[in-house]
Amino acid sequence: MKRRLIALLVVSSALAASALAAEEAAKLLGDESDGSRAQPIHLIPLYAENDKGEKGSQIDPNDPLAMPFSTRWTCGECHSYGMIHAGWHFNSVDANVPAGRPGEPWLYFNSKLGVQVPLSYRSWPGLHRPERLGLSPAEFTKIFGRHMPGGGPGEVTPTETEALAEQYVTGKLEVNCLACHNAHPGQDQGSANGYAIQVSKTNFRWAAAASCEFADVTGSVTDASPTYDPFFADESEEGAPRVIYDKKAFDAKGNVFMDIVWEAPKERCYFCHSDLFCGENDQKTEKWCADEDIHMTAGLTCVDCHRNGLHHDIVRGYEGEAESSSNPMAAASSCRGCHLGDENGDRETGGRLGAPVPEHKGIPTVHFERLTCTACHSGPWPSDEPVLAKTSRAHRLGTINVSKEVRILPHIYAPVFVKEPVADANSPARIGPHKLVWPAFWGTLDANDSVQLIDLAVVDKVVGAALKDVPVVPTGDWSELKEEQVAAVLKALAESGETKPVYVTGGTLFELDDTGAVTSRKDHPAAAPYAWPLAHNVRPAAQSLGVGKCTVCHATKSPFFFGKVAVDSPIVAVSNLAKAQYEFQKTSLARTWFFAFSFIFRPWFKVVAIGATAVIGVVLLLYGLKALGAVAKVLSEQE
Amino acid sequence: MFQTVAIAALIVTFVGIALHWLATPAGGPRCPLSGAVHVFSLLLIEQKSSLLGALKKLCYLVAMVCFVVLAITGFYPTLVKGEHISGFLMYIHATFAPVFALCLAILAITWAGSNRFSFADAPWLTRLLRRVTRLRMPADDRPWRCSLAVYKVAFWAILFLALPLILSIVVSMFHLLGTDWQYFTLAAHRWISLVFAIAVIVHTYLAIRLRMACRE
């Protein structure tokens, strides 16, 4: 028995050692830094993918039928693509990845059909998975891949034969390393022939090449003949995608110098992570009128805080992230981490990167328990009504021919001060600024009273036909719907075979009663707005809420508590409603109002308290002196 | 920690008072209800005919009501629920606090004279000092009235503790103290309020005892 045990241990140790050795051996040249702060030079050969999905031949710029280079096989020569591919930006489709704090959804909208649905592959509460709307990963990628750095749904291998055949032609949307790491100013994500356009043309395989400065892509998969095979194409194929490489970019060995940097420049992040907050009353805001995040003006870049290593498990930067993140910098890279020390109370990390350690003079400590740092420091200054916000991903900012209308869908409102758990459902809830969207979609009610989205194809066909006379608004705003039209659509959906059709919009669920009339419900969870935290732009400390006076928030008309959040809907009767900010903070009007009202008397409180203290102090002093006098008298009488 | 210490301290105080009451009965009705009414009447209703006396009693009445409200609103969430004071409890607490401070200031002025210490308050101390220091101090062979001495000590303790108790909150409302000091003042307010509450309870108990002794 003992011998067997020893033998088992020896075998286990040997296996473990060999596994470790294999892992060690699997490390590629660029997987681990040698410690040098100098930027490695990337003078490298480019490789394409072959028809079997493996590493193909080296790119020859003189080949008129040259394939687009593959980042998987080009960058993957020195960097473990498999590890990178599992990073935060690319792993949304992996159900095993903790979703973490709710983030920005992808917003599918159609103003004429009254649709505005927040979608995501991540399991954030309140969002819908794309397949529930009938979108395959490839279709989802075609619509939203413009602002994705590749990977994720773009690399999902379909199971259906037809979809597999399509993917054979279009290729997968590989992780586009250049989207973040190419420091060359010619990196083209959004212009007329850049990355976004290629994705929208389903040129997934060509998108990364089209974005770089030394290649140009013409044609598209959709314009090619049905028999087009990218691996066995001929020059006579019209409309098919072609890559034209800049021959001058290649050296004699066929290597290309790529201006790759470890730390992604902020301009690269901005392509997908820009925000535009419109002014009050839907006034346009020009970029030059708004300041950048204070961290940027202080000389930092995005990746100074949002860090990652090869695993690309980038720090998102919220408190509590360390519990679910494998990134060792997570705890030290939140607001508190840099400015106060990490969340475990380790003050050594406080003040990193020159972060000022705030004193918060005169701010009662309850604020730090009830509010996120961003509540006072981030986003636009709260106004009586939260303003419309545009984001790169929701509004295609930075791409060609993008609409600059203020009221174009989707409608995102900010800042809405919502009380939500900071990290997950188990963490204490705090109030913080959020962006908020009101879902609007056609669905069906199941036996459990939960709403299932109706497939987009059905919506296009049935709802489109029922609303064919509804005029399209040139600004891209909602086409106005009346309850009668909603009733007509619901009836049409019912006739098309949908059981218990409903329309959700502006926090209200519309359904047909037994008589065929439209009824509405306001408390259905499917109609609840989806809000996600807003962290940037961080304002300077001097522009924080509460600087100088408490009544910025604690007043009976303060926007923080009593601002009116518009209820967004194509139905006028619904969109005329508004919800006060305190309703999103899970508190009551009476409690909020009384507290705000009490601040009128706060100066008097201070005067009375200080006056009383002064009187008591004088009495104590007076009788203390008298006592001293009595002692002195006793002592003096001894003479 | 505060929760445990505060609960223990308050239990010890009340048990101590109960034991003292049982060990040295002060007379009066034996029924608890009629006893409570009796005590209440002794403290609040019965009053001297002068206007100042009535005002002093009124001030004391208001102060006692405020104290009860402040103690309940302040200690209930901390000791029972283990939470910080918030919401309507805090509004009530903050509303009654300045009234209490005002009453305390008036009581300080009007009661300080009658709460001055004299040699009669602690004859044992006089004797001790005479023996140790050989100072010529007036001799007083009357028995020591412990309750009166402790009553006066409690009064001065209340006044003395009122200063940091009030200032610890008022100072935090000005843009003077950073977060660390804010936490300190909050903790100071909490701990001082505990000692203050015990002093008030002892003072009230002894006030009743002394009034009952006077009637006898």
Higher pLDDT, A426 or B115: B115
Rounded to the nearest integer, the mean pLDDT of chain A is 89
Confidence of residue A321 (pLDDT cuts 50, 70, 90): confident
Q: Is the pLDDT reported for residue B126 higher than 80?
A: no
- What's at A368, amino acid-wise? F
Question: How does pLDDT run across A496-553, given as a tens digit for each residue?
Answer: 888 899 999 999 999 988 888 889 988 899 999 999 999 999 999 999 998 878 889 9
DSSP string, A6-65: HHHHHHHHHHHHHHHHHHHHH--TTTS--S--SPPPEEEE-EEE-TTSSEEEEP-TT-TT
Cα(B40)–Cα(A601) distance, rounded to whole angstroms?
33
Q: Name the nearest CA neighbour of B59 among B95, B115, B109, B113.
A: B109
- Distance between CA A388 and CA A568 in Å, rounded? 11
**Percentage of chain A exceeding pLDDT 90:** 60
Instruction: Note the pLDDT tens digit of each residue in A471-487.
Output: 889 899 999 998 889 99
B44 vs A266, higher pLDDT: A266
What average pLDDT score do residues B161-168 get? Answer: 94
Q: Using CA atoms, how far apart are residues A374 and A138, in angstroms rounded to an integer?
A: 36
**What residues of B are in contact with residue A609 (Cβ under 8 Å)?**
97-98, 101, 166, 169-170
Contacts of B108 in chain A (CB under 8 A): 615-616, 619-620
Which residue in A613, A626, A638 has the most chain B C-beta atoms within 10 A of its own C-beta, making it the best mutation to test that interface? A613
In order of A71, A126, A211, the CA distances from A141 in angstroms are: 18, 21, 17
A119: β partners: A106, A128
pTM here is 0.86
Torsion angles phi and psi, residue A517, rounded to 5: -90, 155
Helix A602-636 with B146-170: angle, nearest 10 deg: 140
pLDDT of the residue at A27: 85
More confident residue, B47 or A597: A597
Q: Do the chains contact at A617 and B163, CB–CB below 8 Å?
A: yes
**What is the predicted pLDDT for the residue at B138?**
66
Distance CA A417, CA A420 (A): 9
Rounded to an integer, what distance in angstroms lies between the CA atom of residue A413 and that of residue A565?
Answer: 8
Pick from A360, A364, A613: CB nearest B163: A613
Cβ within 8 Å, pair B105-A615: yes
DSSP-H helix ranges across A212-298: 266-273, 294-297
- Which helix or strand (DSSP H or E) is residue A107 part of? strand A106-110
Q: What would the pLDDT profile of A9-41 be if each residue is shown by its tens digit?
A: 444 444 444 444 444 457 888 888 888 888 889
Query: Number of Cβ pairs closer than 8 Å across A and B?
Result: 104
Query: pLDDT tier at B49 (50, 70, 90 boundaries)?
Result: low
User: What is the pLDDT confidence band of residue A314, given thresholds at 50, 70 and 90?
Assistant: very high
Measured between beta carbons, the chain A residues lying within 8 angstroms of B182 are 360, 363-365
Mean pLDDT is lowest, of A1-5, A204-208, A574-578, B88-92, for: A1-5
What pLDDT score was predicted for residue B216?
Answer: 53
Mean pLDDT of the region A367-387:
92
Residue A6 clears pLDDT 50, i.e. is over it: no
Residue-level pLDDT at A638: 63
Q: Is A636 on the interface with B (CB under 8 A)?
A: no
| Mean pLDDT along residues A71-80 | 94
Q: Token pair of A295, please?
A: 């961290």
Contact A613 B186 (CB under 8 A): no
Instruction: Find, among A359, A410, A414, A408, the residue nearest to A387 by Cα.
Output: A414
Give the pLDDT confidence score for residue B144 in this predicted structure: 62
Residue of B nearest to A597 (CA): B91
Q: What's the pLDDT at A20?
A: 41
Largest CA distance in chain A: 128
E strand spans, A536-600: 564-566, 578-580
Phi-psi region of A133 (alpha: psi -120 to 50; beta: other; left: phi over 0): alpha
pLDDT at B68: 94
CA-CA distance, B87 to B100, in Å (whole number)? 20
Mean pLDDT of A550-578: 89
- For residues A223-251, give the mean pLDDT: 89
Closest partner CB to B91 (pick from A365, A598, A613)? A598
Share above pLDDT 70 across residues of chain A, in percent, rounded to a whole number: 94
Is the CB of B182 less than 8 angstroms away from the CB of A365?
yes
Mean of pLDDT values over A94-107: 92
Give the lowest-confidence range in A81-85, A301-305, A390-394, A418-422.
A418-422
**Tens-digit pLDDT profile for residues B178-213:** 888 999 999 999 999 999 999 999 998 888 877 776
**B139 and A CB contact within 8 Å:** no
Q: Is the pLDDT of residue B46 over 60?
A: no
In A485-550, DSSP assigns E strands to 501-505, 508-512, 518-521, 530-533
Give B163's contacts in chain A (Cβ within 8 Å). Answer: 613, 616-617, 620
Confidence of residue A94 (pLDDT cuts 50, 70, 90): very high
Question: Any idea which of A83-97, B6-20, B114-128 has the lowest mean pLDDT?
Answer: B114-128
User: What pLDDT is attached to residue A69?
Assistant: 96
User: What mean pLDDT is predicted for residues A387-407?
Assistant: 92
In this prediction, residue A19 carries a pLDDT of: 44
Q: Is the pLDDT of residue B164 over 60?
A: yes
For A11, list phi and psi in degrees, rounded to 5: -65, -45
Average pLDDT over residues A243-260: 94
DSSP character at residue A250: B
Phi, psi of A84 (to 5 degrees): -60, -40
**pLDDT band at A341, cuts 50/70/90?**
confident
Q: Is the pLDDT of residue B65 over 80?
A: yes
Q: What would the pLDDT profile of A130-139 be if each residue is shown by its tens digit?
A: 999 999 999 9
- Residue A87: pLDDT above 90? yes
Please check whether residue A608 touches B, CB under 8 A.
Answer: yes
